[in-house]
Amino acid sequence: MFKKPKVWRGLTAVCALFLVFSMMAANIFELYRTSVDAFFGTRSQVMVTSESDDAEDAWIYQSDFTTAQEAYEGFKEFAIRESQETYALLKNDNDALPIASDSKITLFGIRSYAPVYGNNGGSTPDGKATVEIFDAFAERGFQINPSMLAAYEANFVGEEWATPQFGGGIMPQYTSITSYNDPCELTLDELAALNPDYNSQYSEYSDAAIVVFGRPGGENGDGYYPDEAGLADGVETVTGNILSLSTEEQAILDEAKANFDKVIVLINAANPMELGSLAEDPEVDAILWIGFPGAYGFYGVADVLNGTVSPSAHLGDVFAKNSALAPAMMNYGNIPWANADDFSDDANVNSYLVEAEGIYTGYRYYETRYADIVMGNGGAEASAGTYANPDGTVATTDGIWDYSNEVVYPFGYGLSYTTFEQKLDSVEIMGDKKTATVTVTVTNTGDVAGKSVIQLYAQAPYTDYDKQYHIEKSAVQLMDFEKTNTLQPGESQTITMNVDMANLASYDSENAKTFIVDPGDYYFAIGDDAHDALNNILAAQGYTTADGMTDEGNAAKTYKWTWTGGVDAETFSVSKAGVEITNALSEGDSAMDINYFLPGTVTYLTRSDWDGTFPKTISGLTANEELSRLLGNDFIELATDEDTSDLVFGDTTSTLTINDMKGADFDDERWDELLNKVTVQEFLDFASNAFHNIAAIPSVGLLQYAADDGPGGSDSHYLTEGSYQGVPYEDAADYDYGTRVAPAPQNLAYSWNKELAYENGEIILGESTLVLNLPIMIGPGMNIHRHAYNSRGAEYYSEDPILSGYIGSAVVQGAQSKGCLVNIKHAAFNDQEINRSGIAVFMTEQKARELELRNLQQAFEANGKPASFVNDETKADTYTTGALGVMSSYNRIGAVAPSANYGVMVQILRGEWDFNGYNVTDFTGVDLKAAPKESILYGTTAFCGFGISENITYWTPEALSGDHDMLAAIRQNTHYILYAMANSAAMNGVNSTTHTENVMTWWRVLYITLIVVFAVATVVCLIGFVFSKRKKKAQAR
């Protein structure tokens, strides 16, 4: 056979083909080296710094962990300590909690064996590190009923924990119970089938029944829907919504109530569940919200249950009886454009979301409607479908809106094992109205130690001017908060807060076109929660329960300040950066109001007519010519013949490198010299290769690094890769654990503890950067909770812009203190996961600026400094620089791609907030859906994803060379990149000798071996073909 030339020719072709494939694979592996490392858990490149005089000084940021063991123990210790402050006690009748540490308990519910430890996509907890609920409880001393546990264990025989949708490792969840439309609770018959003796030891383990109810959450899924659309076949619930208890869950609860004197319920869900039936059930003794506790969080749950610590968390979202009736829910889900099929697939046009509720989301809706009823301003009358019956079900006839039928637990609610007295000592408004000083004294009046949260709220007057120009006002809004130290019984602590009055200003998009302060009476109040604070304000205004108040308020906890001038459109019309604030989102290409494009489409909710303006679903819209131009993501034409000779690229005369710019200010005059060295091609290469990667820019000495997703720690890397100041941990192989171990970000917000959030940033993000050499960590997640049904809520903080903004700002400050280049995500308005890529989000500019953008603003302006940091010299350098990085969202802002929205990205972010850092898209790549040229013009520095789509034909220096604005933007964006890198851990350990060296990983060995083998085989076969051909010719002669 091998004497035939045809055989040799075929073998040559086959070997050559495999050689080409091997070489292509090698190129792909090297191009996406950091992603390959993340997937396989390898480290293919190391940074090497030769010994020199400045070698020690090169380490600007130093890790607290010098060994893998220290890192493992440090992350674990913090995760447990954080968790202890993140569980909110919602009910505790007859002091049912705490229970003894050695209590004999029976666990009920599928989630008592397989709880939701964290998100199932995006910041998933590390399964390798996770300590399961029953093990954590047992280690803390609880004795657990083995018969019931055995039944649940039998249910999962043969099923392994899942593989994460994003990142690496193991996810601590069973795929069989991750449904969004079915709680997957076992019936009593199913328990009996799994273990006939499941109920045989109730009497032996009768100190308490602990019932766990949970709902999963995560990234990139349809998530939760209200009503029947959100329920699987056969699933029935108390309120008819998936966020209330199912029939099977209620049966499990009934079993516990029938057999135990003490019933404790743990709510293992990030989405605010509809808990009215539990709150009102006299046989349910205690309810503890635990959210998503993380890898080690059930140690903290046990510590709260047994009284090692007193619960000190407070809700960061309102818990309604029927969340589906909130005005925001009238427009939610998949609402397609009627002409979506007219667009190319590349444009990514699918649906839209009109947020007709305006500012009235979360507690702003419930408390304002309540206040209007008490004050006689309307709001009591309701149309069917806009209010709940006493049991939380939807009212089907017109009737009266009643706060007690709507809200189970108000925003800010949370109980303790002790009691506190809070005294409003003083409020002083500064003469320029821009700040206020508020002093509060807190005393522990109970019998056990604990922490108390000071919640400061305010009310602005709702005036005729507001009604005329469609400005809405919440009856109460959070202004600031602080948490005390652990106070012993009888101990007091006085805290002074410096309050930013800009957060009380209202945005007037119609007349003043900036932030205004109305004349009238302003009230400041402290309270146990938003509703309590509002009742205190109402009491100060002379109202009582006779007027419909739920409780008598305490006027002594309020302060009234009166502004007697006219409408003030000057004080807050200029940002802290000195930039004029004016309309950015009301008209033009950046407009977010659908009425600008399609006049008369929506009437926004107003408190001047609750019933008449309650939102209706806006469906069936057709994008007109103007909308279609913008939705197509190709709305700025490139110039081809402009003079660009004043812009310098590729200069080779300078010896300056980025190493010389460590810590340099953005305005340092040396940047021009450095920027002159960078070529257009280098920028394009950098910008198009940003998936978990920081590409090198050789001309200025910027090395290539890995980056990672990480609101909760590194998604893809483990302590086995850890190092200290460039030297791998000697014990790294013994610690195959990740850094994704803390409770969910939402849990952190519920702690209401700025100092704890700062420490979270230092450790969870900052130490991940230093230990794993990941200069960029994509996080924190800072989108606002618009309603209860978004399945990704756990990754974000709260429904309130101040709670979310100050917690997020603290995380950013802590992370950046360790050199972590944060990428706050997602800018902006990522309000649902349904159609998250491509959905067009519309709202008023007032809503945009007072909720989502006010929230983000706190982190970019470094606001919210904890009171304890103000006079602490060790914290003098904190809160001086805002966030240096951001990731834009998938959703459109108005009609345009988020990175191509001039109003947000340039006018507000780069202008008003003076952001000069790194701005990357979410996973788009250089593709039409990201509007690449428009995005570059508006400050985008990189595109997360894999390379350049074939639909983008201008991604070359030649194609861009004739557009002056584009080249100027490339130069400016390069400045943003290099400034951010120079002020991050990307320069840690770097000096003039620093370079990278490749490591021979197993996959490099594999592709090199394949290339060599197939190259040799190709040569051998080619030789065989030549000789067989010659031999055949010789035989023919």
pLDDT digits (tens, 9 = 90+) for 933-961: 999 999 999 999 888 999 999 999 999 99
21 three-class SS? helix
Q: Are 60 and 662 in contact (CB under 8 A)?
A: yes
Among 666, 756, 3, 673, which residue's Cα sits nearest to residue 312? 756
Side-chain-side CA neighbours of residue 734 (13 Å): 10
The helix or strand, by DSSP H or E, that contains position 824, with its residue range, turns out to be: strand 824-827
Unique residue bearing structure tokens 């509720």: 357
Q: What is the DSSP letter of 906?
A: I
Please, which residues have CB within 8 angstroms of residue 258's CB and are 6 or more apart in sequence?
A: none
Please, which residues have CB within 8 angstroms of residue 54's CB and are 6 or more apart in sequence?
A: 991, 992
Q: What is the pLDDT of residue 8?
A: 78
The helix or strand, by DSSP H or E, that contains position 284, with its residue range, turns out to be: none
Q: Which two tokens stand for residue 711?
A: 């609101």
**What whole-number distance in Å separates Cα of residue 978 and Cα of residue 975?**
5
pLDDT digits (tens, 9 = 90+) for 867-913: 999 989 999 999 999 999 999 999 999 999 999 999 999 999 999 99
Residues forming beta bridges with residue 382, ordered by sequence position: 399
The helix or strand, by DSSP H or E, that contains position 843, with its residue range, turns out to be: none
Directed axis angle between helix 5-31 and helix 1002-1036, to 10°?
Answer: 160
Residues forming beta bridges with residue 702, ordered by sequence position: 697
Whether residue 53 is predicted with pLDDT greater than 60 in this model: the reply is no
Q: What is the pLDDT of residue 565?
A: 84
Amino acid (1-letter code) at residue 672:
D
Q: Are 650 and 679 in contact (CB under 8 A)?
A: yes
What is the reported pTM?
A: 0.94
Q: What is the rounded average pLDDT of the residues 732-739? A: 94
Q: Are 608 and 467 in contact (CB under 8 A)?
A: yes
Per-residue pLDDT band for 55 (boundaries 50, 70, 90) equals low
**What whole-number distance in Å separates Cα of residue 150 and Cα of residue 394?**
40
Residues forming beta bridges with residue 478, ordered by sequence position: 457
Q: Which two tokens stand for residue 1003?
A: 């996959």
Q: Residue 820, Cβ neighbours under 10 Å: how many?
A: 31
Among 114, 44, 340, 363, which residue's Cα sits nearest to residue 1003? 44
pLDDT digits (tens, 9 = 90+) for 139-175: 999 999 999 999 999 999 999 998 887 767 888 999 9
Per-residue pLDDT band for 271 (boundaries 50, 70, 90) equals very high
Amino acid (1-letter code) at residue 784:
I
Q: pLDDT above 70 covers what percent of the chain?
A: 97
Q: What is the pLDDT of residue 544?
A: 97
Residue 566, Cβ density class (10 Å: 0-12 exposed, 13-18 middle, ≥19 buried): exposed
Whether residue 628 is predicted with pLDDT greater than 60 in this model: the reply is yes
Whether residue 995 is predicted with pLDDT greater than 90 in this model: the reply is no
Unique residue bearing structure tokens 């654990």: 737
Directed axis angle between helix 5-31 and helix 33-40, to 10°?
Answer: 90
Architecture in CATH for domain 87-312: 3-Layer(aba) Sandwich (3.40)
Whether residue 54 is predicted with pLDDT greater than 70 in this model: the reply is no
Q: Are 311 and 304 in contact (CB under 8 A)?
A: yes
Q: pLDDT above 90 covers what percent of the chain?
A: 83
Residue 601, Cβ density class (10 Å: 0-12 exposed, 13-18 middle, ≥19 buried): middle
Q: What is the rounded average pLDDT of the residues 23-29? A: 84
Q: Is beta strand 520-526 parallel, antiparallel or unpaired with respect to 453-459?
A: antiparallel
**What whole-number distance in Å separates Cα of residue 6 and Cα of residue 12?**
10
**What whole-number distance in Å separates Cα of residue 975 and Cα of residue 258?**
68
- What is the number of residues in the chain? 1037
Q: Are 708 and 38 in contact (CB under 8 A)?
A: yes
Q: Are 307 and 254 in contact (CB under 8 A)?
A: no
Q: Are 453 and 413 in contact (CB under 8 A)?
A: no
Residue 893: what are its φ and ψ, rounded to 5°?
Answer: -105, 105
Q: What is the rounded average pLDDT of the residues 795-801? A: 97
**What whole-number distance in Å separates Cα of residue 253 and Cα of residue 284?**
9
Per-residue pLDDT band for 962 (boundaries 50, 70, 90) equals very high
CA angle 263, 265, 271 (to 5 degrees): 165
Unique residue bearing structure tokens 């709507």: 406
**What whole-number distance in Å separates Cα of residue 436 and Cα of residue 425?**
13
Residue 427: what are its φ and ψ, rounded to 5°?
Answer: -135, 130
CATH topology of domain 416-577: Immunoglobulin-like (2.60.40)
3-state secondary structure 120-137: CCCCCCCCCCCCCHHHHH
What does each C-alpha distance from 394 to 244, 332, 386, 399, 615 come to in angstroms? 13, 18, 8, 11, 16
Architecture in CATH for domain 45-68+632-997: Alpha-Beta Barrel (3.20)
Q: What is the pLDDT of residue 167?
A: 67
Q: Which two tokens stand for residue 741?
A: 């171990």
Q: Which two tokens stand for residue 258?
A: 């029938």
Q: Which two tokens stand for residue 931?
A: 């509007």
**What whole-number distance in Å separates Cα of residue 292 and Cα of residue 743?**
6
The helix or strand, by DSSP H or E, that contains position 481, with its residue range, turns out to be: strand 477-483
What does each C-alpha distance from 2 to 5, 11, 1021 come to in angstroms? 8, 10, 10
Torsion of CA 361, 366, 369, 373, to 10 degrees: 180
**What whole-number distance in Å separates Cα of residue 890 and Cα of residue 1019?**
50
Q: What is the rounded average pLDDT of the residues 596-613? A: 96
Per-residue pLDDT band for 58 (boundaries 50, 70, 90) equals confident
Among 533, 601, 558, which residue's Cα sits nearest to residue 844? 601
Q: What is the rounded average pLDDT of the residues 844-852? A: 98
Q: How far is CA 817 from the centre of its chain?
A: 20
**What whole-number distance in Å separates Cα of residue 1011 and Cα of residue 993?**
33
Directed axis angle between helix 964-982 and helix 680-687, to 10°?
Answer: 60
Side-chain-side CA neighbours of residue 410 (13 Å): 24
pLDDT digits (tens, 9 = 90+) for 494-553: 999 999 999 999 999 999 999 999 999 999 999 999 999 999 999 999 999 999 999 999
Torsion of CA 900, 906, 907, 912, to 10 degrees: 140
Q: What is the DSSP letter of 580?
A: B
Per-residue pLDDT band for 202 (boundaries 50, 70, 90) equals very high
Whether residue 1030 is predicted with pLDDT greater than 80 in this model: the reply is no
Q: Are 553 and 603 in contact (CB under 8 A)?
A: no
Percentages helix, strand, coil for the chain (3-state, rounded to 5) are 35, 15, 50
Among 631, 606, 511, which residue's Cα sits nearest to residue 568? 511
Torsion of CA 719, 724, 729, 732, to 10 degrees: 0
Among 560, 579, 586, which residue's Cα sits nearest to residue 508? 586
Q: What is the rounded average pLDDT of the residues 377-382? A: 90
Whether residue 34 is predicted with pLDDT greater than 80 in this model: the reply is no
Q: What is the pLDDT of residue 56?
A: 56
Q: What is the pLDDT of residue 1?
A: 59
**Domain coordinates in residue numbering, the chain:** 5-32+1000-1036, 45-68+632-997, 87-312, 416-577
**What whole-number distance in Å separates Cα of residue 719 and Cα of residue 107?**
34
Whether residue 1000 is predicted with pLDDT greater than 90 in this model: the reply is no
Per-residue pLDDT band for 385 (boundaries 50, 70, 90) equals confident
Torsion of CA 933, 936, 941, 944, to 10 degrees: -30
